[in-house]
Amino acid sequence: MNEDKKLEYITESYYNGQHSQVKRLIREYGVKKFFHNFAYYCEEWRMSEVYMEIAKIFFS
């Protein structure tokens, strides 16, 4: 699965309310790598609020 597809899958999991899956997928992806790449992904799609919500879920 390519990088964009992984980020989409994590985003879909967030929208579906699967917060434990979001945490697991981020760990599998690599925490630092995820938040770095996801920042660009969110900027491109104008989803900064989603970025912040996923960060809250992960660090809670």
Please tell me the predicted confidence (pLDDT) of residue 2.
84
Report d(CA 30, CA 15) in Å as an integer: 20
In this predicted structure, what is the pLDDT of residue 9?
Answer: 94
Q: What is the 3-state secondary structure (H, E, C) of the chain?
A: CCHHHHHHHHHHHHHCCCHHHHHHHHHHHCHHHHHHHHHHHHHHCCCHHHHHHHHHHHHC
pLDDT reported for residue 47: 78
Summarize the confidence of residues 33-52 as an average pLDDT: 83
User: Which whole-number Å values give the CA distances from 23 to 20, 44, 57, in the listed order?
Assistant: 5, 22, 7
**Residue 27 pLDDT greater than 80, yes or no:** yes
